[in-house]
Amino acid sequence: MRGIAFVWQFAEVILAIVLAPLFVGWIAQCRAWMQNRSAPPLTQQYRMLRKLFNKDAALAENASRLFRMAPYVLFGTMVLAAAIIPSVVTDLPFARAADAIALIGLFATARVFQALAAMDIGTAFGTLGARREMMVGFLAEPAILMVFFNAFLLFGSTALTGLVDNYATHPSLIDPSVVFAAIAFVMVLLAENARIPIDNPATHLELTMIHEAMVLEYSARHLALIEWASSLKLFNYACIGIALFIPWGIAIHGAAVGAVLIALITLILKLAVCGAALALIESVSAKLRIFRAPEFMAMAFLIAVLGLLVHLLLGANTGA
Amino acid sequence: MIAQFWCNFLSTVFSHPLDSTLLVVACWPLIALACLLRPHSIRYVARFLFPVGALVCVAMFLLAGTFLISGHSRQVMILPLGLPDLPFHVRLDALSAFFLLILGLAGAGISTFSAGYFRSGEGTAPGLLGLHYHVFLASMAVVMLADDAYLFMVAWETMALTSYFLVTSQHRIPEIRRAGFLYLLMAHLGAVCILLSFGAMQGGSWQFTFDAMRSASLAPFWATVAFTLALLGFGAKAGLVPLHVWLPEAHPAAPSPVSAMMSGLMLKTAIYGMLRITFDLLHVQFWQWGVAVFALGLFSALFGAIFAGVQTDMKRLLAYSSIENVGLIFTGIGLSILFAASNLRLFAALALAASLIHALNHSLFKSMLFLATGSVLHATRQRSLGKLGGLIRSMPWVAALALIATLAIAGLPPLNGFVSEWLLLQSFLYTPQLPHAFINMLIPIGAASLALTFALAAYVMVKFYGMIFLGQPRETSLAQAHDANWLERIGLAWLAAGCIAIGVQPQLALHAAGKSTGMLVGQTIAPDPSVWRIAPIAPEQASYSGWIFLAVILCTVAVTFLAVRLLAHGRIRRTAPWDCGYPWQTSRMQDTAEGFGQPIRHMFGAFFRMERELPAPTDLTPRYRVHIEDRFWRALYQPIAVAVQRLADALSFLQGGRLAIYLLFSFLTLLGLLVFVL
Amino acid sequence: MLRSHLDVELLKLLAAGMLLISFSMLATRRTQQLITLFAWQGTILFLSTTLVAHEARLTELYFSAGLTLILKVITLPLILHTLIKRLGAQWDNERLVNIPVTMLVGLVLVIFAFGLAQPISLLATTVTRHTIGIALAVILLSFLMMITRRKAVTQVIGFLAMENGLFLAATSATYGMPMVIELGIALDLLVAVFILGIFIFQIREQFDSLDLHHLESLREE
> What φ, ψ does residue B327 adopt, rounded to 5°?
-60, -40
Tell me the DSSP string of chain A: --HHHHHHHHHHHHHHHHHHHHHHHHHHHHHHHHTTSPPPPTTHHHHHHHHHHHSPEEEETT--HHHHHHHHHHHHHHHHHHHHS-SSBS--GGGGG--HHHHHHHHHHHHHHHHHHHHHS--HHHHHHHHHHHHHHHHHHHHHHHHHHHHHHHHS--SHHHHHHHHHHS--TT-HHHHHHHHHHHHHHHHHTT-TTT--TT---GGG-SHHHHTTT--HHHHHHHHHHHHHHHHHHHHHHHHHH--TT-B-TT--HHHHHHHHHHHHHHHHHHHHHHHHHHHH--PPPGGGHHHHHHHHHHHHHHHHHHHHHHGGG---
Closest Cβ opposite residue B577 in set A123, A149, A156:
A123
Q: What is the pLDDT of residues A80-109, one digit of tens each?
A: 999 999 888 887 888 877 888 889 999 999
Determine whether the interchain pair B451/A77 forms a contact, defined as Cβ–Cβ distance below 8 Å: no
The answer for residues whose C-beta is within 8 angstroms of residue B98's C-beta and 6 or more apart is B64, B68, B356, B360, B512, B513, B515, B516
Q: How far apart are CA A196 and CA C70, in angstroms?
A: 38
Q: How far apart are CA B239 and CA B247, in angstroms?
A: 6
- What is the CB-side half-sphere exposure of residue B537 using CA atoms within 13 A? 26
What's residue A1's pLDDT?
Answer: 53
The total of other beta-carbon atoms located within 10 Å of residue B604's CB is 17
Name the pLDDT band for A319 (thresholds 50, 70, 90): very low
Q: Contact B502/B361 with Cβ under 8 angstroms?
A: yes
What pairs with residue B611 in β-bridges?
B627
Determine whether the interchain pair A122/B390 forms a contact, defined as Cβ–Cβ distance below 8 Å: yes
Q: How far apart are CA A282 and CA A270, in angstroms?
A: 18
Determine whether the interchain pair A72/B557 forms a contact, defined as Cβ–Cβ distance below 8 Å: yes
What's residue B581's pLDDT?
Answer: 81
Determine whether the interchain pair B545/A97 forms a contact, defined as Cβ–Cβ distance below 8 Å: yes
Measured between CA atoms, how close is C172 to chain A, in angstroms? Answer: 13
Parallel, antiparallel, or unpaired for β B86-92 and A57-60? unpaired
Pairs of CB atoms within 8 A across A/C: 64
Secondary structure letter of residue B592 according to DSSP: -
Q: Contact C67/C50 with Cβ under 8 angstroms?
A: no
Q: What is the pLDDT of residues B275-304, one digit of tens each?
A: 999 988 888 778 889 999 999 999 999 999
Percent of chain C scoring above 70 in pLDDT: 87
Q: How far apart are CA B179 and CA B167, in angstroms?
A: 8
Parallel, antiparallel, or unpaired for β B625-630 and B608-613? antiparallel
What's residue C150's pLDDT?
Answer: 75
CB of C111 less than 8 A from some CB of B? yes
Chains that touch A (3 or more CB pairs under 8 A): B, C
Q: Contact B111/B59 with Cβ under 8 angstroms?
A: no
Q: At what angle do helices B439-469 and B396-409 cross, to 10 degrees?
A: 170
Contacts of C27 in chain A (CB under 8 A): 295, 299
Averaged over B446-456, what is the pLDDT? 90
Averaged over B634-654, what is the pLDDT? 86
Nearest to B389 by CA among C141, C115, A122, C137: A122
C187 pLDDT above the threshold of 50: yes
What's residue C4's pLDDT?
Answer: 64
What's residue C89's pLDDT?
Answer: 67
Name the pLDDT band for B484 (thresholds 50, 70, 90): confident
CA end-to-end span of chain C: 63
Measured between CA atoms, how close is A176 to chain C, in angstroms? Answer: 5
Contacts of A314 in chain C (CB under 8 A): 12, 15-16, 130-131
Contacts of C111 in chain B (CB under 8 A): 438, 441-442, 445
Residue of B nearest to C118 (CA): B437
Percent of chain A scoring above 70 in pLDDT: 93
Radius of gyration for the alpha carbons in chain A, expressed in angstroms and rounded: 20
Measured between CA atoms, how close is B296 to chain A, in angstroms? Answer: 20
**Region of residue B89 (left: phi > 0; alpha: psi -120 to 50; beta: else):** beta
- What is the CB-side half-sphere exposure of residue C24 using CA atoms within 13 A? 18
Residue count of chain A, please give it: 320
What's residue A72's pLDDT?
Answer: 94
With b for 16 or more beta-carbon neighbours within 10 A and e for fewer, the B361-371 pattern comes to bbbbbbbbbbb
What's residue A184's pLDDT?
Answer: 94
Measured between CA atoms, how close is C42 to chain A, in angstroms? Answer: 19
Residues in chain C whose beta carbon is closer than 8 A to a beta carbon of chain A?
A: 2, 8-10, 12-13, 15-17, 19-20, 23, 27, 99-100, 103, 106-107, 110-111, 114, 117-118, 121, 127, 130-131, 133-134
CB of A299 less than 8 A from some CB of C? yes
Averaged over B127-141, what is the pLDDT? 92
- C-alpha distances (whole Å) from A256 to each of A11, A13, A16 are 15, 19, 21
> Among A213-217, B124-128, B267-271, B652-656, whose mean pLDDT is lowest?
B652-656
In sign, the C-alpha dihedral spanning B385, B391, B395, B399 is: positive
In sign, the C-alpha dihedral spanning B107, B461, B484, B256 is: negative
Q: How far apart are CA B448 and CA B426, in angstroms?
A: 13
Determine whether the interchain pair B574/A59 forms a contact, defined as Cβ–Cβ distance below 8 Å: yes
Q: How far apart are CA A215 and CA A225, in angstroms?
A: 11
Determine whether the interchain pair A302/C2 forms a contact, defined as Cβ–Cβ distance below 8 Å: no
Name the pLDDT band for B478 (thresholds 50, 70, 90): confident
A302 pLDDT above the threshold of 70: yes
Helix (H, G, I), strand (E, B) or coil at B474: coil
Closest Cβ opposite residue A96 in set B440, B441, B545:
B545
| Amino acid making up residue B185 | L
Q: What is the pLDDT of residues B512-569, one digit of tens each?
A: 888 888 888 887 777 666 666 777 777 677 788 888 888 889 999 999 999 988 888 8
Q: What angle do CA B153, B159, B163 make, to 5 degrees?
A: 150
Determine whether the interchain pair A138/B456 forms a contact, defined as Cβ–Cβ distance below 8 Å: yes
Closest Cβ opposite residue A122 in set B428, B471, B598:
B471
How large is the ipTM?
Answer: 0.93
- C-alpha distances (whole Å) from A175 to each of A303, A314, C24, C42, C55 are 14, 10, 20, 21, 19
Q: Contact A84/A103 with Cβ under 8 angstroms?
A: yes
Closest Cβ opposite residue B438 in set C100, C107, C115:
C115
Q: What is the pLDDT of residues A156-182, one digit of tens each?
A: 777 888 888 777 776 665 678 888 999
Name the pLDDT band for A320 (thresholds 50, 70, 90): very low
Determine whether the interchain pair A122/B472 forms a contact, defined as Cβ–Cβ distance below 8 Å: yes
Q: Contact B533/B544 with Cβ under 8 angstroms?
A: yes
Closest Cβ opposite residue A313 in set C106, C127, C130:
C130
Stronger pLDDT, B668 or B587, i.e. the higher one: B668
B465 pLDDT above the threshold of 80: yes
Tell me whether the omega of the peptide bond preceding residue A197 falls within 30 degrees of 0, making it cis.
Answer: yes
What's residue A317's pLDDT?
Answer: 46
Contacts of A130 in chain B (CB under 8 A): 462, 466, 596
Q: How far apart are CA C23 and CA C14, in angstroms?
A: 14
Determine whether the interchain pair C107/B445 forms a contact, defined as Cβ–Cβ distance below 8 Å: yes
Measured between CA atoms, how close is B546 to chain A, in angstroms? Answer: 7
Contacts of A69 in chain B (CB under 8 A): 557
Determine whether the interchain pair C115/B445 forms a contact, defined as Cβ–Cβ distance below 8 Å: no
Q: How far apart are CA B349 and CA B337, in angstroms?
A: 10
Determine whether the interchain pair B577/A61 forms a contact, defined as Cβ–Cβ distance below 8 Å: yes
Contacts of B603 in chain C (CB under 8 A): 100
Q: Contact C172/C132 with Cβ under 8 angstroms?
A: yes
Averaged over A279-290, what is the pLDDT? 87
CB of C107 less than 8 A from some CB of B? yes
Averaged over B247-266, what is the pLDDT? 93
C124 pLDDT above the threshold of 70: no
Determine whether the interchain pair B442/C107 forms a contact, defined as Cβ–Cβ distance below 8 Å: no
Q: Which of C20, C47, C123, C127 is the mutation pick for testing A, counting most A CBs within 10 A?
A: C20
Q: How far apart are CA B262 and CA B256, in angstroms?
A: 10
Q: What is the pLDDT of residues B148-200, one digit of tens each?
A: 888 999 999 999 999 999 999 888 889 999 999 999 999 999 999 999 999 88
Q: What is the pLDDT of residues A183-206, one digit of tens each?
A: 999 999 999 998 888 888 777 676
Determine whether the interchain pair A79/B556 forms a contact, defined as Cβ–Cβ distance below 8 Å: yes
Q: What is the pLDDT of residues B377-431, one digit of tens each?
A: 988 888 888 889 889 988 999 999 999 999 999 999 889 999 999 999 989 888 8
Q: What is the pLDDT of residues A40-51, one digit of tens each?
A: 898 899 999 999
| Amino acid making up residue B39 | P
Q: Which of C111, C121, C122, C134 is the mutation pick for testing B, counting most B CBs within 10 A?
A: C111
Secondary structure letter of residue C96 according to DSSP: S
Model's pTM, two decimal places?
0.90
CB of C114 less than 8 A from some CB of B? yes
What's residue B294's pLDDT?
Answer: 94
Chains that touch C (3 or more CB pairs under 8 A): A, B
Contacts of B438 in chain C (CB under 8 A): 111-112, 115
Stronger pLDDT, B79 or B226, i.e. the higher one: B226
Residue of B nearest to C100 (CA): B603
Q: Contact B517/B352 with Cβ under 8 angstroms?
A: yes
The answer for residues whose C-beta is within 8 angstroms of residue C118's C-beta and 6 or more apart is A313, B437, C133
Q: What angle do CA B335, B341, B346 make, to 5 degrees?
A: 65
Secondary structure letter of residue B588 according to DSSP: G
Put simply, the chain B residues between 291 and 350 with a CB less than 8 A from any chain A CB are none
Contacts of A137 in chain B (CB under 8 A): 455, 458-459
CB of B551 less than 8 A from some CB of A? no
Residue of C nearest to B436 (CA): C115
Q: Which of B302, B438, B607 is the mutation pick for testing C, counting most C CBs within 10 A?
A: B438
Closest Cβ opposite residue C115 in set B437, B445, B603:
B437
Q: Contact C89/C17 with Cβ under 8 angstroms?
A: no
Q: What is the pLDDT of residues C78-102, one digit of tens each?
A: 888 888 888 776 666 677 777 778 8
Q: Contact B347/B432 with Cβ under 8 angstroms?
A: no
Percent of chain B scoring above 90 in pLDDT: 44
Q: Contact C27/C75 with Cβ under 8 angstroms?
A: no
Tell me whether the omega of the peptide bond preceding residue B396 falls within 30 degrees of 0, making it cis.
Answer: no
Q: How far apart are CA A303 and CA A296, in angstroms?
A: 11
Q: How far apart are CA C103 and CA B660, in angstroms?
A: 68
- Helices first, then strands: H and E counts in chain B: 28, 5
The answer for residues whose C-beta is within 8 angstroms of residue B45's C-beta and 6 or more apart is B35, B38, B39, B118, B126, B127, B129, B130
Nearest to B281 by CA among B179, B342, B207: B207
Determine whether the interchain pair A116/B470 forms a contact, defined as Cβ–Cβ distance below 8 Å: yes
- Helices first, then strands: H and E counts in chain C: 8, 0
Nearest to B624 by CA among B656, B647, B601, B657: B601
- What is the CB-side half-sphere exposure of residue A264 using CA atoms within 13 A? 14
A271 pLDDT above the threshold of 60: yes
The total of other beta-carbon atoms located within 10 Å of residue B276's CB is 24
- C-alpha distances (whole Å) from C160 to each of B257, C38, C189 are 65, 8, 8
